[in-house]
Amino acid sequence: MNLRSQFKATMLVSLIAGVTACQTTPPERMVDKSKTRNLTLELFSAISGNETMAVHHPAGMNEVTMNKIIWNNPETKEAIPAYSRERIHSGNGRKIVQTFAMRTDKQAIGRVHDSRFGALPLGGAKFPLGEWYQGETRSFDVGGKKMTLTITNIQGNDDELEFVWQAYSFECWKYKYKPKLGMTNANKC
């Protein structure tokens, strides 16, 4: 094999590896502990103050309705403040209802129910909460499986937040959230 063919083969392998692996650890130059931000439920939900509902339109998705609710934890029977998110699936037209509750360690909010799958393990981590810094990655054990959240841009346009959510070693999404709008973009890694 000549040098040109070796180079092409190496580039192809690198490209395939990069596409199949979701890289949640940002390069060292992206980690900046001086850039911190307190990530709130208001940023996640787009619901502010005493409001109980918000409606927004993320890029490439149908209308999303977010509601504050009280969710009854089936394990502890405790009534917990939570959020219900409803939208119509853009592919099959079915209604999707998801319920999110804060983790007990208050580091994230996670899904506890999804109409597509039913009840989900408690302790999920779908959106980071509290103090996080640029490039930070945190891992969470959820029902014996690993979920990670990585902040990729803590201070974007108009204080937009970008992060990567990875779960179960095969699921990877990049999300963008903006104040008063909630989720504005969701793309597979």
pLDDT tens digits for range 165-175 = 999 878 999 99
d(CA 43, CA 62): 19
**pLDDT of the residue at 174:** 94
d(CA 88, CA 82): 20
Q: What is the pTM of this model?
A: 0.79
pLDDT tens digits for range 109-120 = 999 999 998 888
Close Cβ partners of 141 (under 8 Å, ≥ 6 residues apart): 123
pLDDT tens digits for range 53-66 = 888 777 667 788 99
Close Cβ partners of 189 (under 8 Å, ≥ 6 residues apart): 22, 23, 164, 166, 172, 173, 174
pLDDT in tens, the chain (189 residues): 443 333 333 333 332 333 334 444 444 447 888 889 999 999 999 998 888 888 877 766 778 899 999 999 888 899 999 999 998 887 888 999 999 999 989 999 999 999 998 888 888 999 999 999 999 999 999 888 899 999 999 876 568 899 999 998 789 999 999 988 888 888 899
d(CA 55, CA 182): 9
d(CA 155, CA 108): 18
d(CA 38, CA 59): 25
Q: Residues 96, 88: contact at Cβ < 8 Å? A: yes
**pLDDT of the residue at 164:** 95
